[in-house]
Chain A
C-alpha cells in the first residue's frame, strides 16, 4: 500500500508529460532497491518499468532544448533547395530488428530517419553503433524520383525498395562515436572533412549509390547519398549562409509542433507531382506542403496538408487503416489527418505518410 502511494505521484508526472525531479528518481530507485532486497518481484517489476520511463522522460526533457537549437543549426546547414526534413527529436537507442516486438509507428518512423546510417559502409557503420543512443536524427532530402542516368541499365526493371533521392542524414549521439568505428582510413578529404566513401543502396538494386560519411564532431555523424548534397552541407557548416532551407516564412511551419517525438515537413513547390502520384487515380489535390508528427499521446499520428481538396480521403477509406484514420478541415483551411494509435494501423500509416513526404518505397 505504501509503495503504491509513492508510485502515484511519479506516475502522475509521467501522465502529465512532466519531467520527474532528481529527488523523485532517487526515491523511486530506493523503492526498487527495497523491493529487490525483499524479493518482491511483482512490485520490483512494476517499479522498474515506471523508473525506466521516468528516467527516459527526464533525459528527453533535458535534451529537448539543445535538440531545438541543433535543428535550427541543421536548417541553416541544408541546401536551399531541400524539399523535405524529417527529425527524430526524441532520443532512441539503435537496436537490431527484434521479430518478437510489435514495432510502434514511432519506431518505424525512426527506422526511416536512420535509413542512410543503415545503408552506408555496407551496413557496418550501423552495426558498429548498435546499442548506442541517438539524441537526434535529421534526414533531409530533395529530388525524389530523379534517377541518375548511370544508375540503371536501359530497359531494366525499376528496383523495389526506396525510390531515388538526394539526401543527408545527420545523427547526433548522446556519447562520442569517433572515427575508430570505421576500421580504415578515409578515402577522401572533401572541403577539409575526412570522408569515408562506400557503395550500396536502399533498394534491391545492388550498389547503385555512393555514400559519404564524415564526423562533424565525435558525436555528430553526417551520412549522405549524393556528393553535391554532402559538399553543400559541409560548406554551410563551415560558412553559414543567410538563406536557409525550408525558410521560416513557409506556412507549413505554422502547422507543425516541433516538440513531437518525430516530425517531418515538406514543401511541394519543387516537386508537386509526388503527392498526386500516390493517389490511385492520379487526382491532384493541389498540395502545397505537408507536416507530419509521430509518437503523440497514446501513439497517435497527425498530418496536416495545405491543399485545395481533401487529400486524406483515400487514407480514411483505406481498409488497411482499420478505421483508425480520420480527416477534417481546420478553420484556416488546412486538411488534418489523425490516426489513432491502433497497432494494426501503424505500418500503413508510416508507409503512406513517409511516401507523402517523398520517401516512397516500391513493393
Chain B
C-alpha cells in the first residue's frame, strides 16, 4: 500500500503542471534575461540546465501511467512466471548504436538486445527514432543458470512488452495470431549452455514472434504457448495475475526506481538437499531455502541494490569488491553497488540473479 502511494505520488509530481512551472519558470526567466543581455555563454549554460529539467519532466509524463500498465501486464502473464522486470526510463530507438556502444547502459542493453538482433536488425531499424516509454519482461522455465557474468540467456520462455509513445507503423505482417498482426523474427545465438573452459560455444537458431496487439504496444515472445496465453488474457481478461501481490518480494522492491525487478524462485530453480549450494548461496545461484530476489537500479545516480531473501548464509565469492553486503534484516541480504565506480558488472550479476542473460 505504502509503495503504491509512493508511486502514485511520484507520477502526480512529475506530471503536475503547477509544480513544474515553479521549477522551470525561474530558469526560463533567467534564460530570457541572458539572451536579452547578449550574455550567450551564460545563456547556453542556462539552456542546458533548462533542457535537462524539461526532458526529466517529459520522461516523467511519458510514464505517468506506469502503475496501471504494470498491473495490466502482470494480469496478462501466465501465473507460473518466475521473474519480471520493468525499465521505466524512456529511450529512443537508435539502430546505429550497437550493443557494444551501449556498454555503459546495461539496463537498456537487456531491454533491446533481443529486438535488436532479430532478422539481422531489420525489425529494429523499422522502429528507428521511435520513443519507448516502458519496457517489461518476464520469464519462466528457467533452466540451469550460467555462472558467467554477464551470462547468456538460456532457452527459457520469455516475453517482452514495449510501450511506445504513440502508434508504431511496421512493414506488412507475416501472419496473424489471434487476430493480431504478427511477425516472425529469428537470430542465431549462443545456446545458453553453462560455461565450460576450453569448450567451444554451441549456437542455435532462436525463433521469436513479434505481435502488435495495440497500436502502441509491441510484444516479443519466444514460445507460441506463452504468447497465446498472454493474448487470451488480454482479450478475455484475467482474475489472477503473475507474481501475486502477497509475495514477500513486493515489500522489498522500490517500484519508483527507473529499473526494478523481482523473482520468486520456483522449486526447480533451487538446489535439492545434498546438491552443491543447498546450504549456502553461491550467487548468482540461489540456495535451497531462498525465496526470491529483488533488484532496483537508480540509473540517474548509478546506484544498484539487490535484495536476496533467504535464511541461508551467502558466500562472498564473486561479490567481493563488486558489492557491499548488508544483513540488516533477518532473511534479507542487501547487495549494494555504485555502478559509476564499479562499471556495469554488478548490473549483469543482478540480471543473472533475475534469470536473464544477454541475447548474443
Residues of A within 8 A of B (CB): 22, 25-26, 29, 32-33, 36-39, 41-42, 44-45, 48-49, 51-52, 55-56, 58-59, 62-63, 91, 93, 98-102, 133, 135, 174-175, 342-344
Contacts and interface: CB of A to CB of B under 8 A. Distances in A.
Contacts of A22: 35-36, 38
A26 B36 contact: yes
A175 B299 CA distance: 32
Interface in B48-106: 48, 50-51, 54-55, 57-58, 61-62, 96-98, 100-105
Interface stretch (B19-27, B111-119, B241-249, B316-324): B19-27
B43 A26 contact: no
A341 to B, nearest CB: 9
Interface of B: 15, 17, 20-21, 24-25, 28, 31-32, 35-36, 38, 40-41, 43-45, 47-48, 50-51, 54-55, 57-58, 61-62, 96-98, 100-105, 165, 299, 302, 339-340, 343-344
Contacts of A175: 41
Contact of A48 (B50, B103, B105): B50
**Chain B binding surface SS class:** helix
A32 B54 contact: yes
A342 B31 contact: no
Give the interface centre of A45, A175, A342 by most chain B CB atoms within 10 Å: A45
B58 A44 contact: yes
A32 B28 contact: yes
Contacts of B17: 36-39
Given A29-B32, A45-B54, A55-B35, A343 B96 contact: yes
Contact of B105 (A33, A37, A42, A100): A100
B96 A135 contact: no
A62 B54 CA distance: 26
A56 B45 CA distance: 9
Contacts of A42: 58, 61, 165
A58 B40 CA distance: 7
24 contacts: A25-B35, A29-B28, A36-B24, A37-B17, A38-B17, A41-B54, A41-B61, A41-B62, A42-B165, A45-B54, A45-B58, A49-B51, A51-B31, A52-B47, A52-B48, A52-B50, A52-B51, A55-B44, A58-B40, A63-B40, A99-B103, A99-B105, A102-B97, A344-B98
Given A36-B20, A42-B58, A55-B43, 14 more contacts: A33-B25, A36-B17, A36-B54, A42-B165, A48-B54, A55-B31, A62-B40, A91-B41, A91-B44, A99-B344, A102-B97, A102-B104, A133-B44, A133-B45
Nearest to B43: A55
Contacts of A98: 104
Contacts of A51: 31, 47, 50-51
